[in-house]
Amino acid sequence: MVGKGVDTVGETGGPVVVGVGHTSRDWTVVGWAAAEAADRGAELVVVRAEGAEHPGEPFVRLRTSLFGHGDGGAGHAPAEEAALAARDHPGLAVRTESVRADPSAALVAASRRAALVVVGSRGPDALRFPPDAVGPRVCAYAACPVAVVPPQASLERCGHVVAGVDGSPDSDAALRFALEEAARRGARLTVLHVRPSAEAVGRLTLDLVGPEAVMLHAERRMHRMVDEARDERTGDVAVRILVLVRHDHPAHALVEAAGTADVVVVGARGTGGFRGLLLGSVSQKVLHRSPVPVVVARVHTGRSARSARSPQG
């Protein structure tokens, strides 16, 4: 069930933070983040982490400036990305920051005051994420939702948001984020709940009450979850919701659904997997394979135990 008093972001009214400098398609990432900030009426903070000179070097902020103020020279503040964002979204407040730190650590630190962190990925061409991939590390430790934008992502919108829901606390957070995102965009929302097939889980399953009854029960449960997830921001908004329940592997079904969506929203961890894992296997697979941006959300209870931890240990 959805806990109305649980905070799912670092700062609900905070800025949208976008990291640049660790992929070759920074403008796609910044363009997506700028549109998100404009939708929210939020400030856009463009962060370039120049990297620590040696292991264990403390976090050092080199420069902070409002776009159009200060020199913001090349190699310091990411002025070019800020200029493009401001050009395409007149009136958008843009701030730049340059820091000397590991990129993952810098963005995790920024997440504690942000409404959303946006990072790029290297796309689904490689067999797996490299060990130093920024996106999965930030998703695992951030204190707010994280959007990972693949290089082939389009900035054109089709008006469709997909949320993967399995009944776990983190998927509740994903559902609420997806509702708010659909409301802001005027988009329809597909809530996708997948019951793994016998082939997907590698064993035989037996539903004693019959598959039709199981599917009907799951659909009713998803509708209840959607109703309970609505709040004062989304309760009166006419969001079109289509609940799908499919016998398929969750990651495969979500990636397939992503083909007709602007963004896919998933929880950091689902109902399965290892208890201590900060980023579940389904979320990792969707991050790696999705052709569209993926937002990873998780529940934060206010103890900030996870967000206080660093990807560097």
Dihedrals phi, psi of 39, to nearest 5 degrees: -60, -40
At 267, is the pLDDT very low, low, confident or very high (cuts 50, 70, 90)?
very high
Residue 192 DSSP symbol: E
| pLDDT one-digit tens code per residue, 163-219 | 999 888 899 999 999 999 999 999 999 999 887 655 555 555 555 566 677 778 888
Nearest CA among 112, 110, 234 for reference residue 179 = 234
Task: Output the pLDDT for position 21.
Answer: 79
Q: List the domains of the chain with CATH numbers.
A: 16-54+76-149 (3.40.50.620), 160-297 (3.40.50.620)
β-strand pairing of 294-297 with 263-267:
parallel
CA distances 200 to 81, 108, 194, 213, Å, are 43, 34, 11, 21
> Does 56 score more than 70 pLDDT?
no
| pLDDT one-digit tens code per residue, 78-119 | 667 777 788 889 999 999 888 888 889 999 999 999 999 999
| pLDDT one-digit tens code per residue, 193-205 | 887 655 555 555 5
124-128 average pLDDT score: 50
Nearest CA among 71, 24, 64 for reference residue 46 = 64
Task: Output the pLDDT for position 310.
Answer: 46
Is this structure's pTM higher than 0.85? no
Residue pair 64/96 in contact by the 8 Å Cβ criterion? yes
